[in-house]
Amino acid sequence: MNLNQRIASYGKKLTKSEQRLVAELQAQHPQGLLESATQLARKVNTSASTVVRLLTKLGYASYAEAQMEARSEVTALLATPGTRADAVIGDDTSIRSCLDNVLLHDQHNLATTFAALDVAAFEATVRLFTQRKARVHLLGQRHGTPIASHLALHLNMCLPEVRLMAATSPLFIEDEMLWLGEHDVLLAPTFRRHSLAITRAAKYFREQGAKVVLMTDDPTAPAVASADHVLLVRTSSASPFDSYTAALSVANALVMAVAQRRKKELGATLERGEALWARHWKEGSA
């Protein structure tokens, strides 16, 4: 529940100071909680301890947790880092505050993402990756590029046909899609300010009989219309810039699940890899 839902469902009597606080919070929601407890208390002529006590009554573990929720709502409403900067950066500029806020947001992102993750979609993705003759394509643009690269690096150790459709490739994305068929699978991480290239690629993969998996922060992202499976991740952040910690963690879970399915083949592949690396370093030092 968000703040307004907690207030609506709270059935006990509030003090006059708490009633003034509730009125102020509702009038300024969600931005009102971005201020410190002391600043908020001063507006309604009460104390910071009263603010904290009210939020505890409403079910928050701490004032920081309530602020995190408010920042999440603000960042969801404001599309660009520029518009979010003033809204999410508070007056407390201490390093300790930065560390605590980032940790709190990322812990919440991880917990929320994994609690709500579509396990059937996750399992279906692993099956697609490990099916016979599967060719796995990873495509990321902007913020999705590091996630796609991470997946490509590690899935390549588990599967024989993994291709990173990267901006640094000598081929255009269109060239890399010339030979698509029913054994091809696209996994595309796409986040806020979704790439038109990913939307077009997902549509084309689907038209050619290939399968499409999206990892995204938005169930209404344009490419979702072409997806067979969607893995939703939370990207809320204490800063003006979204956090992709949860996305990377889901990517790690995919790698782990594929490695488990390919345990026998993986051992042989890693042995070959170690031999190649040993040869590389031996020749390099010669």
Per-residue pLDDT band for 96 (boundaries 50, 70, 90) equals: confident
Class of domain 116-280: alpha beta
Position 35 scores a pLDDT of 82
- pLDDT confidence of 241, banded at 50, 70, 90? confident
Topology, domain 1-78: Arc Repressor Mutant, subunit A (1.10.10)
- Residue 120: its pLDDT value, please? 97
Q: Quickly state the pLDDT bin for 84 (edges 50, 70, 90).
A: low
Query: What is the full DSSP assignment across the chain?
Result: --HHHHHHH--S---HHHHHHHHHHHHTTTGGGGS-HHHHHHHTT--HHHHHHHHHHTT-S-HHHHHHHHHHHHHHH--SHHHHHHHH--S---HHHHHHHHHHHHHHHHHHHHHH--HHHHHHHHHHHHSTT-EEEE---GGGHHHHHHHHHHHTTT-S-EEE--TTSSS-HHHHTTT--TTEEEEEEE-SS--HHHHHHHHHHHHTT-EEEEEES-TT-GGGGG-SEEEE-----SSSS---HHHHHHHHHHHHHHHHHTHHHHHHHHHHHHHHHHHHHHHHT-
**210 — pLDDT class (breaks 50, 70, 90):** very high
Above 70 in pLDDT, residue 87?
no
* Percent of the chain residues topping a pLDDT of 90: 49
Q: What is the tens place of the pLDDT at every residue in 6-39?
A: 888 988 889 999 999 999 999 888 888 878 888 8
* pLDDT on residue 226: 95
| Residue 150 pLDDT greater than 90, yes or no | yes
pLDDT at residue 59 is higher than 80: yes
Model pLDDT for residues 105-122, shown as the tens digit of each residue: 888 889 989 999 999 999
Give yes or no for residue 53 having a pLDDT over 90: yes
pLDDT tens, position by position, 174-209: 777 777 889 999 999 999 888 888 999 999 999 999
In this predicted structure, what is the pLDDT of residue 199? 92
Supply the pLDDT for residue 11: 84
Domain boundaries, the chain: 1-78, 116-280
- The whole-number pLDDT of residue 284 equals 65
The mean pLDDT value of the chain amounts to: 86
Using pLDDT thresholds of 50, 70 and 90, give the confidence band for residue 90: low
